[in-house]
Chains A and B, each alone.
Chain A
């Protein structure tokens, strides 16, 4: 069981994603903006972060950059999700990018791949780097 931090300012989407990942057997913690997520990540050290891009206070790109710049969270894989194109997330340091609206199976597959990098790649995410 992994601990996954789900970050999105849209509560319905955040709840949906949390439900799906919990059904997959993960422990899910949530945040509604980048600033809150950064604090939680530093405190709880999740195994994976799945974050929206456009959020109040701190957007997903900056959240990702700050996580990767902090030695205590640098190794945590980050999936960014957004309805905007990938150009904006280039340079964020994210490990995968998912375009909204997304297929939940695709997100689950990317989560599995990032949590278990040695396992068979059964899905391909849009890697921004």
Chain B
């Protein structure tokens, strides 16, 4: 599990080996994990998951035979601590006592700092401990503070345990933004801050590596969740995407609808992102289903990330239009990933996307829709960097993406694309919308931009036919303002003779 190449704690040298925390993505955020023998502080307010994090790390190591010593003081007794931990999946009672010892420091602390250090070091040495957790350090520090011993205590303890090859993990309840109140922060090799932030009615959990010596952590704030599996960290997506210039791919990625592909000059350009903006219910999702099922037929793994329609609804829609989604899913070529549209966390969404893209070698991606993805960033300031990172990542991986965007009005003059950064970031822009003409609604399709390809600039009317799917009908009636949704006949003989669906 660990890099033991220079794990030389017992002979007195400083170890550069790192150990796995076992907390999903935390080692990546830390820039490779904690250095063995280092003094690490986890600081955060009550309820941020500090103790769970420490125990998760301890149990992960213990499951691999690395002994851990969890020391409590005036926070909760170790019996209570154990009782509270039993619902967590990583908790293995078989390891308690043998590989993980939970003991209390309340007695020895009263005897003094030196006696406490001696007791901890002797216990760690006797049990060949690789990780010492001081849980509830706030209680300990109050006693040590009376003796003005906090900094020397941690410095001496950390140094002695490092010589034994043990890492010291200090869990302290406090505000990481008030570092002046915690002089002991200076002696720590790594500081991890856990925070809770209210955003509207929602509480977000955020992790930051405030400091880590000798490593390059991922910059910024990283959201995390707590479940029965413990903590899972989702690295800030912008911090993990590397800006590279991918090789140019001249290929085309077809919808499998000859008329649509012809308008696009043969299909979407490979490795690009396409924004399909349009009125609700006009057929954007259906076009997305065409995109993934055609991919499946061509043995190009596809992922459909949806937020509003359930997997059952999507499958039924695909069945109605004869798209063969069931077979594609059964063959493992299409995966429907449906996430609830509420409480979304952009970095978690990105993590799920990235994992599936890399695991299955996804070549086609549908995101339905951009609105939920943008809302998941939780702040306007983050929309552009997050989406730019996503588009860059997809480009780098040669994933061709089709992203839908709802235009709020069904029929109306406004084309509200300016609000989404994707209208700029995406290489291609399609419009699918309704237009009212002579008392009837018509569905219109047009290609607004394709950055790396010629394309047909004309408008096309389309329909959705059961058993077939989306079908282009031809040019719409000659009229002024079709894309505004409310068309006016062109004055004169040309307009007078045009009929919906006919070529002009």
Q: How many residues of B contact A (CB 8 A)?
A: 25
Number of A-B contacts (CB under 8 A): 74
* A53 CB contact (under 8 Å) in B97, B126, B127: B97
Type the 1/0 row for A1-40, where 1 means its CB is closer than 8 Å to any CB of B. Answer: 0000000011111000000000000000000110100000
CA–CA, A101 to B119, complex, Å? 26
Minimum CB–CB distance from B102 to chain A (whole Å) comes to 5
A33 touches B108 (CB 8 A): yes
Question: What does the 1/0 interface line of A73-88 toward B look like (CB < 8 Å)?
Answer: 0000000001111011
Interface class of chain B by DSSP: helix
Give the contacting residue for B108; candidates A54, A56, A59, A83; CB below 8 A. Answer: A56
| A84, B82: Cβ atoms closer than 8 Å | yes
Contact status of A11 and B79, CB under 8 A, knowing A56-B71, A56-B120: no
CA–CA, A88 and B79, complex, Å: 16
Please state if B98 and A56 are interface contacts (CB–CB under 8 Å).
no
Task: For B94, give the chain A residue with the smallest CB separation.
Answer: A87
Partner of B123, one of A56, A83, A87, A89: A56
Contacts of B97 in A (CB 8 A): 53-54, 59, 61, 82, 84-85, 87-89
B123 touches A57 (CB 8 A): yes
| B122 cross-chain contacts in A, Cβ below 8 A | 35, 56-57
Instruction: Report yes or no: A85 in contact with B93, Cβ–Cβ below 8 A.
Output: yes
**A interface, over-half SS:** loop
Q: Within the assembled complex, what's the spacing in Å between the Cα atoms of A59 and B106? A: 16
Nearest B residue to A35 by beta-carbon distance? Answer: B122
The 0/1 profile, CB within 8 Å of A marked 1, for residues 105-148 of chain B is: 11110000000000110110011000000000000000000000
Please judge, given known A-B contacts A61-B97, A85-B93, whether A32 and B103 are in contact too, CB under 8 Å.
no
Beyond contacts A11-B107, A83-B82: 16 other A-B pairs, Cβ-Cβ < 8 A, are: A9-B104, A10-B79, A32-B108, A55-B103, A56-B71, A56-B103, A56-B108, A56-B119, A57-B123, A57-B126, A59-B97, A82-B97, A83-B96, A85-B94, A85-B96, A85-B97
